[in-house]
Amino acid sequence: MLVLLLQQTDLAQYMTQHPGGLHSHNVRIFMFQLLRALSYIHGRRILHRDLKPHNLLISYLGELKLADFGVCCAFNREGLHGAGLARSKSIPAQNFSSEVVTLWYRPPDVLMGSIHYSTALDMWGAGCIFIEMLQGAPAFAGGSDELEQLQNIWTVLGVPSEDSWPGVSLLPNYRPERFIHCRPKLFRDVWKR
C-alpha cells in the first residue's frame, strides 16, 4: 500500500487559482521537482503512465509530489501491479497497453497504437504540463478521441512522415490520409510564453 501525506491542493487546482499561466519562478520550481521525481522513479524502472496536473500534489510549502501510482501496488515477476497506471519497466522494453495516460497528455506514438514505450511516455506528459503551466491552458486540449487528439498535435507539429520520424509508418494506427496536413509551426507562434 502506498501512503502519501495529505496535501493542500493539486497542480490543476493551483493553476485554476492562478489563471493565465503561472509566474515563471513557480514554473521553474515545479518543473525541477517534477523532473527530479521522474528521474527518481525512472531510475528504479517505474513508469508513471498518467502524468497530468491532477496527479501532481502541492503542499503548503510549494513542494510538488508525484501521486496516483495506484492502490495496493506490489512487485512480482511480471512487474508492478495496481489500480493505477504505474508499471515497472524492464530491459528490454515490455509490451504495454496503448490505453494509458489521460488523452490530452498522451504522446503521438501511443495515440497511434504503440505498445512499446519507455520513459519518453512520461517526458511527453511533463512537456505538456510545462506548456500548461506557462500558458494557463492545456497544450493540446479538446481531443475527444485519439484521431482528434492527433489532429490537435499535428496542427502544431505537422503530420509526420518517414522523413521527419523514421519508423512512424510501422505504428499500427498510422494513417496520414486521415488528417488535415499542416506544416510544423514555431512554438512561439502557437504559445504566447
145 in catalytic set: no
pTM: 0.82
Residues of the chain with pLDDT under 50: 71-99
- pLDDT of 72: 25
Map the chain to HEC letters. Answer: CCCCCCCCEEHHHHHHHCCCCCCHHHHHHHHHHHHHHHHHHHHCCEECCCCCHHHEEECCCCCEEECCCCCCCEEECCEEECCCCCEECCCCCCECCCCCCCHHHCCHHHHCCCCECCCHHHHHHHHHHHHHHHHCCCCCCCCCCHHHHHHHHHHHHCCCCCCCCCCHHHCCCCCHHHCCCCCCCCHHHHCCC
Q: Which one from 50, 68, 109, 122 is the annotated catalytic residue?
A: 50
- pLDDT of 91: 40
Domains of the chain: 9-143 (1.10.510.10)
- pLDDT of 2: 57
- pLDDT of 181: 87
